[in-house]
């Protein structure tokens, strides 16, 4: 499953890539086209999620090799992971094409790694209907929202399928000029006129800074892969007030709570008490996706769509 490295590597970097591959070799047999998550817990147990089912696998994982693996991956990506910064989040396209989240002591007793694998195939809205993620009525509603340049926020928990929904919606934007902003590249846009900006390197290049730069690039649509903090929330809402048509994601327990979530984030950066006015004027549609259990397996499902019309909210549920 190891993909070729991106671009030529020589000397020390090539040796590091080989060292990483060596340490990942014990995990390779468990990664195939249906694997969505691979988790290594501090006690050394390994679990995989495949085709919606979670199971423990028998494999021996050496703690010191895990520590070495995390250090090597951090170095390849010009980051550090140590006692002062005991966590690491990055995309590893050279190895499984996965997104890695790692923790080390003192946050945990021993190294813990989670590899999240993107869908091997980008799914259209119609294919999501076939899989049971959407209803036909929801497909029509969302297609019309994209075509009419509505601002759409996709909400849900970690691993619920927010990015899958966002990618399916962004496949419908035609030839609009789209600027996509992410800390870890996962969003794919259907428009050939797309600029993807990666934040966080250097650390001072935040989502807020990226949105400000994006507004100087003649965008038709500005997309933030995930709204995580107050500065990002505020800058995105200001941007889509005059450049509507975003498809962005946010962590939330429900579609209804997205409004409160955005408000809470803006409280982090605004002096005094913010109002809901900017949220109500810019957010047109919230799509909430969840993992649900059907037939003994976990599937992603859009459970709720809320339409904002200023302060009037209408709900469309599956």
pLDDT at 26 (0 to 100):
87
Strand partners, 224: 181
Mind listing the domains of the chain with CATH numbers? 11-116 (3.30.450.90), 125-317 (3.40.50.300)
Cα–Cα distance for residue pair 74/80, rounded to 1 Å: 5
Q: pTM, whole model, 2 decimals?
A: 0.78
DSSP states of 130-180? HTTSS-HHHHHHHHHHHHTT--EEEEE-TTSSHHHHHHHHHTT-TT--EEE
Q: Which two tokens stand for residue 105?
A: 């002591």
pLDDT digits (tens, 9 = 90+) for 131-165: 899 999 999 999 999 999 999 999 999 888 899 99
- Which whole-number Å values give the CA distances from 310 to 71, 253, 285, in the listed order? 49, 22, 11
- Which whole-number Å values give the CA distances from 133 to 193, 202, 213, 294, 298, in the listed order? 29, 37, 35, 12, 11
pLDDT at 203 (0 to 100):
79
pLDDT digits (tens, 9 = 90+) for 229-258: 999 999 999 999 999 999 999 999 999 999
């Amino acid at each position: 499953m190891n993909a070729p490295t991106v671009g030529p590597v020589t000397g020390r970097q090539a040796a590091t890539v080989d060292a990483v591959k060596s340490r990942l070799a014990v995990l390779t047999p468990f990664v195939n086209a249906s694997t969505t998550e691979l988790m290594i817990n501090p006690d050394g147990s390994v679990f995989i999620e495949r085709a919606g089912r979670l199971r423990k696998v028998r494999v021996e994982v050496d703690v010191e090799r895990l520590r070495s693996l995390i250090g090597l991956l951090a170095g390849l990506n010009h980051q550090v992971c140590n006692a002062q910064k005991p966590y690491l989040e990055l995309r590893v396209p050279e190895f499984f094409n996965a997104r890695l989240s790692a923790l080390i002591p003192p946050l945990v007793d021993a190294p813990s790694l989670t590899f999240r694998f993107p869908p091997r195939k980008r799914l259209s809205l119609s294919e999501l209907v076939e899989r049971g993620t959407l209803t036909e009525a929801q497909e029509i509603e969302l297609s019309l929202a994209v075509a009419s340049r509505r601002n759409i926020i996709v909400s849900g928990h970690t691993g619920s399928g927010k990015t899958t929904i966002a990618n399916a919606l962004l496949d419908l934007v035609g030839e609009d000029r789209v600027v996509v902003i992410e800390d870890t590249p996962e969003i794919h846009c259907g428009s050939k006129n797309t600029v993807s900006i990666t934040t966080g390197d250097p650390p001072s290049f935040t989502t807020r800074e990226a949105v400000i730069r994006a507004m100087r690039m003649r965008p038709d649509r500005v997309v933030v892969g995930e709204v995580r903090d107050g500065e990002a929330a505020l800058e995105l809402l200001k941007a889509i007030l005059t450049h509507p048509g975003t498809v962005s994601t946010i962590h939330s327990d429900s579609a209804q709570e997205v409004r409160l979530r955005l408000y809470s984030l803006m409280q982090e950066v605004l002096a005094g008490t913010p109002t809901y006015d900017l949220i109500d004027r810019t957010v047109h549609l919230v799509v909430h996706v969840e993992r649900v259990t059907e037939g003994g397996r976990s599937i992603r499902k859009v459970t709720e769509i809320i339409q904002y019309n200023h302060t009037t909210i209408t709900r469309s549920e599956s």
